[in-house]
Amino acid sequence: MGRYLIPLGLFVVLVGFLAVGLNLNPRELPSPLIDKPAPAFKVPQLHALDKTIARDDLKGKVWLLNVWASWCVSCRQEHPVLVELAKSNAVPIYGLNYKDQREAGLAWLNQHGNPYVISAFDQDGRVGIDFGVYGVPETFLIDKNGIIRYKHTGPVTPDAVQNLILPKVKELNAAS
């Protein structure tokens, strides 16, 4: 009896490892930027190219940076969630329009609604690289001192908003 239990046990362990491996999301990588200052940037605004937006303009408030593009399919999936979140006024959302055509980006916002206070226009993707963006959409939560506190890779889900982002926003707003 015992001699059969050992292979059976090994098999169960193997199945356990495989099950965990299958359920891990290989696209979700820990960002080295968590708890580090957000990279400095200063780029034109999507809606008004003559005006700029910079990281330091946003010091003193807790804000979300959502990296999006009109060519990005999963952005469409998360977009209603962001529009909803913007309506609730829980946290200001700033967009980073990543490697996009300006007209396409503007048209996209007209069509699907604009949840962003301001969208930064990162045409050549430099700001994206500084933020370690490798798959749009990505969302960063940045605190009052300009420190990145949380990163969400992939489309933001209502579940992530309720259980991860909003509690962290509350916590960061309470901190000095």
Partner 1 sequence: MPRPDTFSRLLRQFAQALLFAFMLAGLPAHAGEAAPAADDPVLEKRVTELSELLRCLVCQNQTIADSHADLAIDLKKQIREKLEAGESDKQIVDYMVARYGDFVLYKPPVKATTMILWIGPFVLLAGGLSLLFFKLRKRMRQAQAGETLTDDEQRQAAALLQDGPGGKGAAR
Q: Are 121 and 101 in contact (CB under 8 A)?
A: no
Q: Which stretch binds partner 1 (CB under 8 A): 8-16, 49-57, 129-137, 142-150?
A: 129-137
Q: Which stretch binds partner 1 (CB under 8 A): 22-30, 56-64, 113-121, 157-165?
A: 22-30
Tell me: does residue 26 bind partner 1 (CB under 8 A). Answer: yes
Tell me: does residue 32 bind partner 1 (CB under 8 A). Answer: yes
The three-class DSSP label of residue 78 is helix
| Closest distance of CB 31 from partner 1, Å | 7
Strand 148-153 relative to strand 138-142, pairing? antiparallel
Q: Residue 137: is the preceding peptide bond cis (ω within 30°)?
A: yes
* Residue from 29, 40, 48, 104 in contact with partner 1 (CB under 8 A): 29
For partner 1, give the closer residue by CB, 7 or 32. Answer: 32
Tell me: does residue 140 bind partner 1 (CB under 8 A). Answer: no
Residue 89 main-chain phi, psi, to 5 deg: 60, 25
Cα separation of 175 and 61, whole Å? Answer: 11
Binding mask 58-77 for partner 1 (x = CB under 8 A): --------------------
Cα separation of 55 and 120, whole Å? Answer: 10
